[in-house]
Amino acid sequence: MPFPHGDVENLIRETADAIRGAALVVVASGAGMSRESGIPTFRDALSGLWASYDPEDLATEPAFRRNPARVFGWYAWRRRLVRAALPHPGYAALVELEGRVPEVLVVTQNVDGLHRRAGSRRVLELHGSLEQFFCLDARHPFPAAAVPEPVADGELAPPACDRCGSPIRPGVVWFGEMLPERVVAEAWEAAARCQVMLVVGTSGLVHPAAELPRIARDAGARVIEVNPEPSEVSAWADVVVRGTAAAVLPRVVAALKGEALKG
């Protein structure tokens, strides 16, 4: 994405300067972080077979109870999509940040596991993960290796829990469900303690994740947004870098290293 020279470069330098002095940087990422790895954002139109469904009709417990094979099949499709995706250079930039800032914590709304796959060492998954599974009635953990792989896009009957027999569901947070308590406690504590929060690729529409940047700001942190489009955060963030994750994050790290901004 060609940068309009001048303002974006200055904003990238300003971001690097803020990070340089920080003891803790929290990266709050959303679906936009994975867009350049080929994974559609949550609100992108669902493609192919699933185009006729609204995610909110699939990502709920009632939807799973009504038609477990359809919901389980949809997540199997997303898992296949995600496994084929490669973390783009923006992910590697966040990993490199860990060697330049005393403490870096990634708090993501994404369930695709790309931050971990890229090598980020501290990742909190607020909305769970496509690679985790537990049973519907008692949340007995179920090994991902034992989950059937789809042979084609479409419905896929979930396995049954080997302890209680109830159907196995994806370990993601569905609409109307609570976020994992321990993850929330750790994320909220870090947001209130960080000096910089980098908000990357989120519309800031979904709560409670959307509260994190406000907690950081109210605790005196610099809130810096990386997003090619305006979001709920843009109106009050300290710095808004109008660019994409894969284009901006490597340049922030280059500026942090005092390297000339290339390209």
41 binds ligand OAD (CB under 6 A): yes
Q: Pick from 12, 18, 22, 59: which binds ligand OAD (CB under 6 A)?
A: 59
Our CB check for ligand OAD shows the closer of 73 and 204 to be: 204
Least distance from C-beta 180 to ligand OAD, angstroms? Answer: 12
Q: In the window 90-119, what residues touch ligand OAD (CB under 6 A)?
A: 109
Least distance from C-beta 223 to ligand OAD, angstroms? Answer: 15
Least distance from C-beta 30 to ligand OAD, angstroms? Answer: 3
Least distance from C-beta 54 to ligand OAD, angstroms? Answer: 11
Number of amino acids touching ligand OAD (CB under 6 A) = 25
Q: Pick from 17, 21, 43, 137: which binds ligand OAD (CB under 6 A)?
A: 43
Among 5, 115, 127, 207, the active-site one is 127
Does 88 participate in catalysis according to the annotation? no
190 binds ligand OAD (CB under 6 A): no
251 binds ligand OAD (CB under 6 A): no
Considering only CA atoms, which of 256, 234, 254 is closest in space to residue 243? 234
Q: Pick from 202, 216, 240, 250: which binds ligand OAD (CB under 6 A)?
A: 202
Apex 117 CA angle, 114 and 118, nearest 5: 85
Q: In the window 219-248, what residues touch ligand OAD (CB under 6 A)?
A: 226-229, 231, 244-245
Show which residues are catalytic.
127
Judged by the rule CB under 6 A, the positions of this chain that interact with ligand OAD are 30-32, 35-36, 41-43, 59, 109, 127, 173, 200-203, 205-206, 226-229, 231, 244-245
